[in-house]
Structure 1
Amino acid sequence: MEEIVNWLNGIIWSQALIYLCLGVGLFYTLSTRFLQIRHMKDIFRLTFKGQKSEAGISSFQALNLALSGRVGTGNIAGVATAIAFGGPGAVFWMWLIAFLGAGSAFIESTLGQVYKSKQHGQFRGGPAYYIEKGLKIKWYAVLFAIVTVIATGALLPGVQANSIAVGIENAFGINTSITGIFLIVILAIIIFGGVKRIARTAEFVVPFMAVGYIIVALIITVANFSQIPEVLSLIFSSAFGGNATYGGILGAAISWGVKRGIYSNEAGQGTGPHAAAAAEVSHPAKQGIVQAFSVYIDTWFVCTATAFMILMTGMYNVTPEGQKPIITNLTEVEAGPGYTQAAVESVLPGFGAPFVAIALLFFAFTTIMAYYYMAETNLAYINQKTKRIWTEYILKFVILGMVYYGCVKEAGLAWALGDVGVGAMAWLNLIAILLLTKPALKVLRDYESQLKDGKDPVFDPVKLGIKDADFWEHEYEYIEAESTEKTG
């Protein structure tokens, strides 16, 4: 089984996908004229301004729903594996893919808003919707939906669950099967409550867990303050092959940095647009900007916090795949959450292992919630003509089963399955958004033009010549009628 999965990963995660991710991110960074920098001042205003409705959630809830998918195992265990297999230089490539990926995240999330639908009283959207409506390629949309249901409903939850179970076993000695039972009970209570309950849970948990984790990281950083220049030098020199120790693994640094960066921040992967489409906003670009910022929070804040803790304390090994160990500072510790636990433990004895285990519980559990929402959204797309309730129940029980399976299986297989899911979605989504570049950039220019005129931007797809944005056509007509009624 593991050999087959690794073979499939070798095909999906070839150098072609690495360069595609970097290239698409660079293209959108340039074509949007560095939107992720120019609109930084709008981010906080837009994040807290949006209102929720019966059909949609607020911008802040959508941001946290997206972050609950982005901030997870990748931020703790993923950073550790990137360093373990690609060396310290992999951290730089995680930073770079986050900066470039913010452009991709804007485009895909804006498209998610443009082509969203209102189904059974809720906003639904994502790549399947904009592939069908924007590209008019039904089979491609169905393919993406099927791949995403499989990836987020079956392949990816196991990675998150495995990291939770391993972290708790390391810290408290609790058997992984017991952790598995606990997780599926809590998850069942939430996912059977619908998207609003998922959004409310994410709105409360995500800011709390991220701030708490960064505070502990700052304590570790202050305790090792004198090492900051040395760590930064190590990251940058290793990233370009200038470090004598890591000069021979430049390719691994790039590959693992990009792979784990995408796994963590999900930019271009096609997961972010699902949460973005659920937001109640007056213009698609507003949510696109908010979602671009979520990439920064994930990688520049949380992933960097993990990387600094590990590198400052020296609690890591570096063993590129198929090669002999380069650095061995830890014995009998598998690449993953154990590195982060050892790092915190070295500065705060007796606190590190339990703290990281609890952080992983919150981080990874909210990611599993987000995965369910994404899988449900794509299932809703497949079932949009007829509401087949029984398929939703099957999905719920499959994800619960995979969470338990992930808890009791080895980490290597769980990560390999997760990489297959991430890579397959990324291939399909990146090609789709490249083909939809024209309408996405039209939306951005329209937003910026209205801002320049001192307006609160309102989206009119007919005016821009964007077809099949059905929800927005009716919404603009309603807003215009309401405005005429007030002025008349």
Structure 2
Amino acid sequence: MADFLTTINGYIWSNSLIYLCLAAGLYFSIRSRFVQIRQVPEMVRLLLRGQKSAAGVSSFQALAMSLSGRVGTGNIAGVATAIAFGGPGALFWMWVVAFLGASTSFVECTLGQVYKTRDRLTGEYRGGPAYYFSTAMAHTKAAPLFKVYGVLFAAVTVLACGLLMPSVQANSMAAAMHQAWGVQEWAVALGAVIVLAFVIIGGVKRIAAFASVVVPFMAVVYILLALVIVFANASQLPDTFALIMRSAVGADAAFGAIIGAAVMWGVKRGVYSNEAGQGTGPHAAAAAEVSHPAKQGLVQAFAVYIDTLFICTATGFLILSTGAYRVFEGESASGAVLSDGGMLPSDVVVGPAYAQHAVDTLWGGFGSSFVAVSLGFFCLTTIIAYYYMADTNLRFLIGKYAPVQVPVIRGTVGSNTTLVLQALILVSVAMGAVSTASDAWTLGDIGVGLMAWLNILGILIIQQPAFKALRDYERQKKAGKDPVFDPKELGIVNATFWETYEPQSEREKASVSS
């Protein structure tokens, strides 16, 4: 079975997907006139000035929900894996895919807002690729095809977020805690299942509240500590940066033979970490209370920067500047060692242990515990975000059969399927914690790759409303207005939520602002 899954993963993550991610990001960057550069000040302003309502969360909470999905094991174990199998140059290609992917994230998340809907049962905003694929082209002859495409994406997302991807987070969390404290993997699995069971039953508001507190705090603490260690090795920074750049283009003799692997692992782990183009970000974006879809597009584009340019870079420099790395030939830990930083014991397994030993170079014995705690929070919030995405797509699939109340009531199609999903994700966590790292990562990569293929190809076809929204937003801002979205004025059809939407009054905003 392991060999079969590896073969499937090889087909999904072929060079074609790597080129698709890069080409789509470049195309969206050019078409948006590099919105990811021009609008950085506006991105920061928006994430600090959002509002929430009874139906939607604030921009900051939506950002936190999105980051809870983006910031996980990919930021620590994923970076270590990319360096181990792609060389230091993989970090450069993570930067490239983040920079280009920010424009992709803008497009997909703006579309998520344009075609969002209000959940008929909870009153909360829902949206994502399944919603915009099935809605955007509903007025054309291609409507039946895109309806099926939306159903296909929803089914793949339930499978990926409910079963395949949680196992990676649980596996890395268990590995880090075992390395730090000798805790058995089954004990980590049990603890994670108990915590997750409490949170996921509470719905989107509890998820948003949990993520808005935990994710920003842990991300800031992790970045600050990583920077302290990096600056303690400041004399190594010029050489570290030079090593990254030489390795990225094959100019370093030690890594010349794996230039292709550097690109492959940099893009693969970059997409796994920042999720730009994967289709996960639009789910959180759609949940936000905003007056214009482009607002969430900009906020979520900035989330890509936070994830990769801040957190992944902190991990990369932490590992490389302290010499806590080892690079293998053949993209496997069983291959010949091409380069050894000299600070890892010979028996260290590729993964979070790289970062743990890196922190230990400055504070002996502290590194393992700190990384284990960081991963614990990052992975738990990521799994919670996965559940929200899986639940959103499950509700899309079962439609009118969704449960009448939350928590679920037994005896209906909707309630039974929701129970199955909740059980599925908890089982995935338990099994992932006790499985091998290679098996867990293979499952996760399959889930990410399938979603990325479907989402990127789809948004390349239905992209137009996102750019209409961007131009409209910038026009209104230039006129000194707080932009308000009117799809009819822009010739955008099927955006039924916005056709009757009335922005909150200032008094309403104040009463519910966070």
Structures share a fold, TM > 0.5?
yes
Aligned 8 A contact 2:291 2:503 in 1: no
What are the Cα deviations for residues 346-374 of structure 1, in whole angstroms up to 9, with x where unaligned?
A: 11101000000001001111100100000
| CA RMSD in angstroms, aligned pairs only | 1.3
Letter in structure 2 aligned against 1:390:
N
What is the CA-CA distance between 1:476 and the residue it aligns to? 4.8
Listed as ranges, the gaps of 5+ residues in structure 1 are 483-488
**Does structure 1 residue 200 correspond to structure 2 residue 212?**
no
CA drift of 1:386 comes to 2.4
Q: SS where residue 118 of structure 2 aligns?
A: strand
**CA offsets 1:220-256 (integer angstroms, 9 cap, x no match):** 1121001110000000011001111111110000000
Correspondences of 1:49-448 after superposition (within 5 Å): 49-119=49-119, 120=121, 121-135=123-137, 136=143, 137-320=146-329, 321=331, 323-328=335-340, 329=342, 330=344, 331-387=346-402, 388-448=414-474
| Native 8 Å contact 1:460 1:476 kept in 2 | no
Letter in 1 for 2:62: A
Is contact 2:166–2:432 with CA below 8 Å preserved after alignment? Answer: yes
**Residue 486 of structure 1 aligns with which residue?**
none
Give ranges in structure 2 of 5+ residues lacking alignment.
138-142, 403-413, 509-514
Residue 478 (structure 1) shift? 9.4
Distance (Å, rounded) in 2 between the aligned partners of 1:172 and 1:311: 25
Task: List per-residue Cα deviations over 1:10-36 (Å, max 9, x = no partner).
Answer: 100010000000000000111100101
Residue 207 of structure 1 deviates from its aligned partner by 0.8
Q: Distance in 1 between matches of 2:66 and 2:475?
A: 27
Question: Matched residues in 1 for 2:504 and 2:458: separation?
Answer: 31
Output the amino acid matched with 1:210: A
Tell me how far apart the structure 2 counterparts of residues 412 and 332 of structure 1 sit (CA, whole Å). Answer: 16
**Partner Cα distance (1:59, 1:286) in 2:** 8
Change (3 A) 1:14 1:72: same
SS in 2 for 1:475: coil
**Contact 1:21–1:268 (CA<8 Å) still a contact in 2?**
yes
Give the distance between the partners of 1:123 and 1:384, measured in 2 at CA: 15
Distance in 2 (CA, whole Å) between partners of 1:393 and 1:48 is: 36
Moved more, 59-68 or 39-48: 39-48
Shift, 1:389, TM fit: 1.8
Contact 2:39/2:298, CA 8 A, preserved across alignment: yes
Percent identical residues: 57
Range with bigger deviation, 271-280 or 323-332: 323-332
Aligned to 2:480: 454
How high is the TM-score relative to the length of structure 2?
0.92
User: How far apart are the structure 1 equivalents of 2:204 and 2:498?
Assistant: 22
In 2, Cα distance between equivalents of 1:352 and 1:31 = 44
Work out the CA distance in 1 between the residues paired with 2:399 and 2:238: 55
* Alignment partners' CA distance in 2, 1:27 and 1:436: 14
Instruction: Give me the whole-angstrom Cα distance separating, in 1, the residues matched to 2:503 and 2:250.
Output: 57
Q: Give 3-state SS (helix, strand or coil) of 2:94's partner.
A: helix
Shift of 1:436: 1.2
Whole-angstrom distance in 1 between the partners of 2:228 and 2:464: 46
Which amino acid in 1 is paired with 2:465? P
